[in-house]
Structure 1
């Protein structure tokens, strides 16, 4: 066992944690510095370290950078057009009275596929408040179900940026990850409901007075119990708009449908129906999945089963390989979103502004993903990955636990689920073959491990708990507890999946 190489990895991960927690630098810079530290401690020449960093960064962004940018743009249009609200209202109507918590969890899971958790929660929380006000109770249950439903798909289903980054770093087939992530999310959804149903009534009396007043007694015009929630402005949910919403009492955000532009005289009010709202989300996902299925069927028909064997697509597989490519599929998705969801009278410069906001939101995620790829390349080129594989093999642990535990430890240390899963993917990438892991299983393990115990160092913790009105131990029991419950429940699913993937 080469202690120097293992020390290089340990110091690299420690560098990420210390920089993110103790300095003014962000995760992008932390990952790059960690790559330098790992390379130098491993004994690699300076020139080779820089070459590994630039190669890893470029290769990762070549495969995933465009997709992240387009996915975030689709989410922005869903947000500002009112399509996200239409999806939520339909779920509530379909599931009926007494199943509102299922509707909230399902809504959160769907909305969070293209929309960042923080923004999505700000958009959907007024609906949870409106339902709680109507039934005069169960607000904590509804709010936790909504928030953790979002957590599931945010961590498990592309085109959410974190799983996209993991897929790019590990070389995982995106369609397969979408399918597997959806299966995991569906299987974990009952865990969300069970925990929220159990803990919600116990914490209902713990809701802060101002949030209780806002939820159950109405909100005075121009005010919001969520206005001072940490992270609310950063998440895109700030802004007072033009007064309170007539249904929920919440102030209208600047990017609500009322800000879509002035309709021409006599035009009907802009309204997005459920199926129309779902089109820009479903079409790209179905195209990507169809490409995966068509390619697998074609390879099987040709007898080309090994991933490394030469393969030339034919017929339908060739066509689907083009339109089902994630880049093309998401280009189709953003065109559908802009032209189906936004009214014709929306000013062009306003749409450009929203897309520019989406690009700004995606920028840091893209850089972090590229930096994660750079760290992974350094681990490969210096031999640290192979050494870690040998050390883990000696422990007789199931190989799937390696990325799962790395993601969990990084999440606990620095709070960001995206950084945790990308760091775990970077560490795992050189080990996949040595540990006998498939890229798909490794990706699922990285994503699932990053869900553990959301608490004070996670910005989403503050968004959910402040909007829900929970503080101190109540916040830990409610939000930290429910995220840990789904993390723990994902472990047996991973172990079962390891028997087949």
Structure 2
């Protein structure tokens, strides 16, 4: 690989990591700065460099920005309306006595498709505590089961922001990615349950109950999801009463079927589009699914259903609009980071760095589908955020996996799986899980860092199987 191009890549990546770790700026600015440094060192003319950045930013968001915003809006409505609680109670009833940990894992896996991990855990942890107390199960077991279920789909299944951004950056088919990520998530759920059952009883004696917050209000819960101050934008709506951490959620007033519909229907439409395009191309059925199964249309349908089916009777229009406004604010930074990743990727392609790197690594004695996994692993360990790790891995590996002929959906799954590794103190979710459970120090690391690392290890052979299936 030419020395100048290698230097451009290394300096660009170093700038991204340095900005994220050691400045007051975030990944959005870091990726843009990395693109500028890479292009400048590679010898791209300033005017061309700016054009590459704007083209990459706009092109990426043209395909994925609307979808990210709609997915976050569905999750916010599900959260604020009580739909997440309804799903949790339904899964507990279906699982039966003695399998409450399985119910919590399944609940987390479903809820986390549109809802951020932190928020989902805050919403559902009171139910986990109630079940632990009622059935004599270790609290750590129930907390681990819930947290692990939330993490599995958060890392693997669109329309969760990280995987969804990787779909746009790598040009993958969304329906195929949902299938691959969904199958991997289903296989990893028993891993979550097994680790929770093994580690939970061993750590239960180390729970420090004074670490657990006394109460959580609905406003705080919303803030965890949206990144705002917890307000919904409706000055006329009174704040919801505080809810004790150990108090089981009240009846949410919405059925589990209604709560599931805005999640399941869009995914079915998207997958249906993929399937009919493959087996019924040119038919009326394929044309219909080609429209309603387009990700933006499918999620728009899901959002309409969520807005009209989930809020309690009497919920005012201004309140619901406030929820959506808060969701848009939450989605904004994710959209910006995704666009910045697209800008960096465009600079890598247009400057020749991507092609040169692809040529250099094509002779390495490792499968190319492992490359996004390795990059995501490094970035996750360096700065803590799984979403940033996925986006960075997809950005840097795109030219290489395309040149190597790796299926884009497989590359997405690889980047997502690598982002599992060793969640620790730089990851906000680490603190949510361990402090709500009441663990600190080595016990906290054993609880959550151990869980995420086990998922990271378990996902690697699944990628190998996916590589054989997808070719």
CA distance in structure 2 between the partners assigned to 1:458 and 1:497 by the alignment:
28
With 336-345 and 438-447 compared, the bigger mean Cα shift is at 336-345
Partners of 1:89 and 1:231 in 2: CA distance: 19
Q: TM-score, normalised to structure 2's length? A: 0.93
CA contact (8 A) 1:113 1:159 kept: yes
Matched, 1:207 2:210: no
In the TM superposition, what is the alpha-carbon distance from 1:232 to its structure 2 partner? 9.2
TM-score when scaled to structure 1? 0.88
Q: Contact (CA 8 Å) 2:368, 2:401: kept in 1 or not? A: no
Q: 5 Å matches for 1:282-301?
A: 282-299=264-281
Offset of residue 244 of structure 1: 3.6
Looking at structure 2, the residues matched to 33 and 394 of structure 1 have their Cα atoms a distance apart, in angstroms, of 30
Aligned-pair CA distance for 1:27: 0.8
1:249 matched residue in structure 2 = 247
Counterpart-to-counterpart distance in 1, 2:46 and 2:242 = 58
Separation in structure 2 between the aligned mates of residue 244 and residue 453 of structure 1, nearest angstrom: 31
CA distance in 1, matches of 2:48, 2:331: 30
* Partners of 2:226 and 2:330 within 8 A in 1: no
Report which stretch shifted further, 471-480 or 236-245: 236-245
CA contact (8 A) 1:231 1:462 kept: no
* Counterpart for residue 348 of structure 2: 379
Kindly indicate whether the alpha-carbon contact (under 8 Å) linking 1:232 and 1:463 is maintained by their aligned counterparts in 2: no
**SS of the residue 1:411 aligns to:** helix
| Alignment check: 8 A CA contact 1:122 1:232 kept | no
Match of 1:358 in 2: 327
Of Structure 1 and Structure 2, the greater helix share is in 2
Contact 1:78-1:341 within 8 A present in 2 as well: yes
| Deviation (angstroms), 1:500 | 2.0
C-alpha deviation, 1:97, in angstroms: 1.1
Gap change, CA 1:430 and 1:244, over 3 Å in 2: closer
Q: Is the Cα contact below 8 Å between 2:119 and 2:221 reproduced in 1? A: no
The counterpart of 2:372, out of the listed 386, 400, 403, is: 403
Equivalenced residues, count: 459
- C-alpha deviation, 1:231, in angstroms: 10
Q: Relative to 1, partners in 2 of residues 1:231 and 1:44: Cα closer, same or farther, differing over 3 Å? A: farther
Question: Which sections of structure 1, spanning at least 5 residues, go unmatched?
Answer: 215-222, 258-269, 300-312
- The residue correspondences of 1:232-247 to structure 2 (distance < 5 A) are 233-235=223-225, 241-244=240-243
CA RMSD of aligned residues (A): 2.1
CA distance in 1 between counterparts of 2:67 and 2:57 reads: 15
Q: Report whether the alignment pairs 1:487 with 2:469.
A: no
Which residues of structure 2 form unaligned runs of 5+?
231-238
The corresponding residue for 2:154 is 154
Question: Any residues of structure 2 matched to 1:41-440 within 5 Å, and which?
Answer: 41-210=41-210, 223-224=214-215, 233-235=223-225, 241-244=240-243, 248-249=246-247, 271-299=253-281, 313-440=282-409
2-structure distance, mates of 1:63, 1:444: 19
Alpha-carbon contact 2:423-2:452 (below 8 Å) kept: yes
Report how far residue 183 of structure 1 moved.
Answer: 0.1
